[in-house]
């Protein structure tokens, strides 16, 4: 960990950097804030970290000069494809960010622990990343297996019972839908698109499986019904015709 002190504190640790703005900056003249900002930007440019936390918890007010300073830091991080998270608990500071329209551009949390988690730098976040990467591969594989089961059902392969083919199609479709949903919820960009496609494909395979399995469904639905009445047996061919009843005349 490296730390620099002054009107603001700059730290680097575990692959991310932290800029802490201190109350003395609010009372400093513009020229001083400009000097501090230039020094801070040099430190930001020289650090290899692409993840940045801006800690405002020491402030109960923030003027436009400090807002401009954070924006400059954000632009440097954005240019290198990094991510910025702001830590703030004060309602007045939050109102300044909201008026400036920055609350919709930045992730704003209340603690550093939440900020580290939002940056994906915590152990829990790393575990979720690994799980999501794994599920990104599981989803398409499950869709492929479900499609194979559906193909076996449609082609009516003799050595594969229809119930087995249906089980493969529905079971793998369910796994694909689950993996795709989690991937879609946790990811962004291309991985999120893959998750959405996997969910749609899984649901489509379920619908197709039900469509190509009507005979089996109908047979299963008829189990337990009352058996149809048997027809009265026909009389033997050599049987004598019935005689008329004399009393009927």
**Residue 115 or 147, more confident:** 147
Q: Give the whole-number percent of the chain exceeding pLDDT 70.
A: 78
Alpha carbon distance 39, 25 (integer Å): 14
For residue 37, give the nearest of 74, 88, 86 by alpha carbon. Answer: 74
CB 94 within 8 A of CB 108: yes
Q: What 3-state class would DSSP assign to 247?
A: helix
- pLDDT tens, position by position, 121-146: 545 556 666 777 788 899 999 999 99
Query: What average pLDDT does the chain have?
Result: 80
The pLDDT of residue 123 is 55
What gap in Å lies between CA 174 and CA 88, rounded to an integer? 42
CB 44 within 8 A of CB 75: no
Q: What is the pLDDT of residue 142?
A: 93
Q: What angle do CA 51, 40, 45 make, to 5 degrees?
A: 50
Concatenating the DSSP letter of every residue in 139-167 gives: HHHHHHHHHHHHHHHHHT-TTS-HHHHHH
Q: For the purposes of burial, counting CB atoms within 10 Å of the CB of 85, is it exposed (0-12), middle (13-18) or buried (19 or more)?
A: buried
Predicted TM-score (pTM) of the model is 0.49
Flag whether pLDDT at 67 surpasses 60: yes
| Predicted local distance difference test score (pLDDT) of residue 49 | 81
Whether the predicted pLDDT of 229 surpasses 60? no
Helix axes 214-222 and 162-186, enclosed angle (nearest 10): 110
Residue 13 banded pLDDT, cuts 50, 70, 90 = confident
> If you average pLDDT over residues 84-103, what whole number do you get?
90
Q: Any idea which of 165-174, 223-232, 237-246 has the lowest mean pLDDT?
A: 223-232
């Amino acid at each position: 960990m490296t730390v620099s002190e002054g009107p603001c504190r700059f730290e680097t640790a575990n692959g991310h950097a932290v800029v802490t703005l201190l109350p003395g900056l609010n009372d400093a003249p513009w020229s001083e804030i400009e000097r501090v900002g230039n020094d801070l930007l040099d430190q930001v440019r020289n650090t290899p970290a692409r993840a940045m936390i801006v800690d405002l918890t020491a402030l109960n007010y923030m003027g436009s000069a400090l807002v401009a300073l954070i924006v400059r830091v954000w632009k440097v991080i954005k240019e290198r494809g990094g991510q910025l998270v702001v830590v703030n608990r004060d309602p007045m500071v939050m109102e300044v960010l909201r008026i400036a329209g920055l609350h919709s551009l930045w992730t704003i949390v209340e603690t550093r622990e939440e900020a580290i988690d939002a940056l994906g730098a915590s152990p829990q976040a790393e575990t979720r990343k690994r799980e999501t990467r794994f599920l990104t591969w599981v989803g398409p594989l499950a869709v492929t297996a479900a499609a194979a089961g559906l193909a076996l059902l449609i082609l009516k392969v003799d050595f594969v019972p229809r119930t087995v083919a249906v089980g493969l199609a529905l079971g793998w479709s369910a796994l694909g839908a689950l993996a795709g949903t989690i991937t879609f919820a946790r990811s962004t960009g291309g991985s999120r698109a893959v998750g959405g496609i996997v969910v749609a494909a899984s649901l489509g395979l379920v619908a197709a499986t039900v469509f190509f399995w009507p005979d089996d469904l109908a047979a299963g639905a008829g189990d337990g019904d009352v058996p149809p009445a048997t027809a009265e047996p026909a009389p033997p061919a050599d049987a004598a015709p019935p005689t008329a009843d004399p009393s009927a005349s």
